[in-house]
Amino acid sequence: FAMASGTALIYDDEMTSCKLLWDDPECDIEVPERLLSSYEQLKHYHLVERCIHVPVREGTEEEIMLVHSSEYLEVVKSTQTMNEEELRRVSENYDAVYFHPNTYRCAKLAVGATLQLVDSVISGKVHNGMALVRPPGHHSQRNAANGFCVFNNVAIAAQYAKRRYGLQRILIVDWDVHHGQGIQYVFEEDPSVLYYSWHRYEHQQFWPLLRESDYDAVGQGKGKGFNLNVPWNKVGMGNSDYLAAFFHVLLPVAFEFVPELILVSSGYDSGIGDPEGQMNATPECFAHLTHFLMQLANGRVCAVLEGGYHLKSLSESVCMTVKTLLRDPLPQISGEMAPCLSAVESIQNVRAAHKPYWKCLMYEEATPLHNLSTKSQQMMEAELIQTSTHPTAKQAVGTTNSDEAIKTDRFLESHMKKILFPVPPVKTAAAIVSKADAHLLPISVQVEMEMNAQELKTLVSAFDAELVKEEKALLSLQNVLAVLDKILKKKVCNGIAESSVASVSTTFALKHCFDFGLQRVLCIVVGDMDLELDLDDGKILLMNICQKQQTEKTNSKYHISLNWKEDAGRNNFFCAVLGFILPVAYSYQPDLMIIVIGPNRSLGVNAISLLTCLLQGLAESRILVVIQDTEIKLVQSVAKALSGVSTPDFGAYAPASQENVFEIKQLKDQLQQEWKMLRCSVKDWI
The residues that touch Zn ion, with contacts defined as CB under 5 A, are 176, 178, 267, 269, 307
Q: CA-to-CA distance for 434 and 672, rounded, in angstroms?
A: 43
Cis bond before residue 191 (omega within 30° of 0): no
Q: CA-to-CA distance for 45 and 49, rounded, in angstroms?
A: 9
Q: CA-to-CA distance for 636 and 640, rounded, in angstroms?
A: 6
Contacts of 223 (CB under 8 A, 6+ apart): 187, 188, 189, 190, 191
**Among Zn ion, ligand X5A, none, what does residue 147 contact (CB within 5–8 Å per kind)?**
ligand X5A
- Please select the residue that binds ligand X5A; options are 12, 63, 176, 214, rule is CB under 6 A: 176
**Among Zn ion, ligand X5A, none, what does residue 126 contact (CB within 5–8 Å per kind)?**
none
Binding mask 90-109 for ligand X5A (x = CB under 6 A): ------x-------------
DSSP summary character for residue 449: -
Phi/psi class of residue 46: alpha, beta or left (left: φ > 0; alpha: ψ in -120 to 50)? left
Q: CA-to-CA distance for 309 and 20, rounded, in angstroms?
A: 14
Cα 577 to Cα 331, 347, 582, distances in angstroms: 21, 18, 6
Q: How far is the CB of 271 from ligand X5A (least distance, A)?
A: 12
Q: CA-to-CA distance for 274 and 287, rounded, in angstroms?
A: 18
DSSP summary character for residue 423: P
**Among ligand X5A, Zn ion, none, what does residue 59 contact (CB within 5–8 Å per kind)?**
none
DSSP track, 589-637 = --SEEEEEE-SS-SS-HHHHHHHHHHGGGSGGG-EEEEESS--HHHHHH
Q: Which is nearer to ligand X5A, 238 or 308 (CB)?
A: 308
Q: Which is nearer to ligand X5A, 154 or 350 (CB)?
A: 154
Q: Which is nearer to ligand X5A, 128 or 181 (CB)?
A: 181
Q: CA-to-CA distance for 382 and 653, rounded, in angstroms?
A: 41
Question: Which residues, in sequence order, are bridge partners of residue 494?
Answer: 428
Q: How far is the CB of 100 from ligand X5A (least distance, A)?
A: 16
128 Cα distance to chain centroid: 15
Q: Which is nearer to ligand X5A, 119 or 276 (CB)?
A: 276
Q: Which is nearer to Zn ion, 271 or 644 (CB)?
A: 271
Question: Which residues, in sequence order, are bridge partners of residue 431?
Answer: 497
Q: How far is the CB of 282 from ligand X5A (least distance, A)?
A: 19
Q: Which is nearer to Zn ion, 176 or 214 (CB)?
A: 176
Q: CA-to-CA distance for 243 and 253, rounded, in angstroms?
A: 14
**Among ligand X5A, Zn ion, none, what does residue 279 contact (CB within 5–8 Å per kind)?**
none
**Among ligand X5A, Zn ion, none, what does residue 148 contact (CB within 5–8 Å per kind)?**
ligand X5A
**Among ligand X5A, Zn ion, none, what does residue 521 contact (CB within 5–8 Å per kind)?**
none
Check binding of 139 to ligand X5A (CB under 6 A). yes
Q: How far is the CB of 593 from Zn ion (least distance, A)?
A: 35
Question: Which residues, in sequence order, are bridge partners of residue 593?
Answer: 522, 623
**Among Zn ion, ligand X5A, none, what does residue 139 contact (CB within 5–8 Å per kind)?**
ligand X5A
90 Cα distance to chain centroid: 39
Closest Cα to residue 183, out of 155, 143, 204?
155
Q: 361-364 contacts: CB < 8 A, separation 24 or more? A: 361/252, 361/253, 362/655, 363/658, 363/661, 363/662, 363/665
Q: Which is nearer to Zn ion, 267 or 329 (CB)?
A: 267
Cβ pair 372, 233 in contact under 8 A: no
Cβ pair 240, 337 in contact under 8 A: yes
Q: CA-to-CA distance for 383 and 385, rounded, in angstroms?
A: 5
Q: Which is nearer to ligand X5A, 305 or 615 (CB)?
A: 305
Closest Cα to residue 208, out of 94, 104, 100?
94
Cβ pair 527, 600 in contact under 8 A: yes
Please tell me the count of residues contacting ligand X5A according to CB under 6 A.
Answer: 15
Binding mask 285-314 for ligand X5A (x = CB under 6 A): ---------------------xx-------
From the list 147-155, 348-356, 360-368, 492-500, the region that binds ligand X5A by CB under 6 A is 147-155
Shortest-Cβ-distance residue relative to ligand X5A: 307
Number of C-alpha atoms within 13 angstroms, CB side, residue 118?
A: 31
3-state SS class at 309: coil
From the list 143-151, 236-244, 503-511, 628-636, the region that binds ligand X5A by CB under 6 A is 143-151
Which residue in 127, 138, 139, 559 is the catalytic one? 139
**Among Zn ion, ligand X5A, none, what does residue 136 contact (CB within 5–8 Å per kind)?**
ligand X5A
Cβ pair 433, 498 in contact under 8 A: yes
From the list 146-154, 379-387, 464-472, 503-511, the region that binds ligand X5A by CB under 6 A is 146-154
Residue 670 is which amino acid?
Q
Residue 95 is which amino acid?
D
**What are the φ/ψ torsions at residue 518 (nearest 5 degrees)?**
-70, 150
Binding mask 253-282 for ligand X5A (x = CB under 6 A): --------------x-x------x------
Question: Which residues, in sequence order, are bridge partners of residue 559?
Answer: 542, 556
Closest Cα to residue 601, out of 502, 468, 493?
502
| Rg, C-alpha atoms of the chain | 25
Q: How far is the CB of 307 from ligand X5A (least distance, A)?
A: 2
Closest Cα to residue 492, out of 403, 431, 552, 553?
431
Q: How far is the CB of 277 from ligand X5A (least distance, A)?
A: 9
Q: How far is the CB of 605 from ligand X5A (least distance, A)?
A: 43
- Please select the residue that binds ligand X5A; options are 24, 26, 216, 470, rule is CB under 6 A: 26
Q: How far is the CB of 148 from ligand X5A (least distance, A)?
A: 4
Shortest-Cβ-distance residue relative to Zn ion: 307
- Please select the residue that binds ligand X5A; options are 149, 509, 578, 682, rule is CB under 6 A: 149
- Please select the residue that binds ligand X5A; options are 178, 323, 601, 622, rule is CB under 6 A: 178
Q: Which is nearer to ligand X5A, 201 or 573 (CB)?
A: 201
From the list 144-152, 192-200, 631-639, 648-656, the region that binds ligand X5A by CB under 6 A is 144-152
Q: Which is nearer to Zn ion, 236 or 267 (CB)?
A: 267
Q: How far is the CB of 27 from Zn ion (least distance, A)?
A: 13
Q: How far is the CB of 588 from ligand X5A (least distance, A)?
A: 35
Q: How far is the CB of 30 from ligand X5A (least distance, A)?
A: 7
- Please select the residue that binds ligand X5A; options are 112, 147, 271, 527, rule is CB under 6 A: 147
Q: Which is nearer to Zn ion, 307 or 527 (CB)?
A: 307
Q: How far is the CB of 144 from ligand X5A (least distance, A)?
A: 13
From the list 141-149, 368-376, 520-528, 532-540, the region that binds ligand X5A by CB under 6 A is 141-149
Q: CA-to-CA distance for 191 and 220, rounded, in angstroms?
A: 9
* 46 is an active site residue: no
- The total number of residues written for the chain in this structure: 686
Q: Which is nearer to ligand X5A, 284 or 306 (CB)?
A: 306
Instruction: Name the site residues for ligand X5A (rule: CB under 6 A).
Output: 26, 96, 136, 139, 147-149, 176, 178, 207, 267, 269, 276, 306-307
Q: Mind telling me the catalytic residues?
A: 139
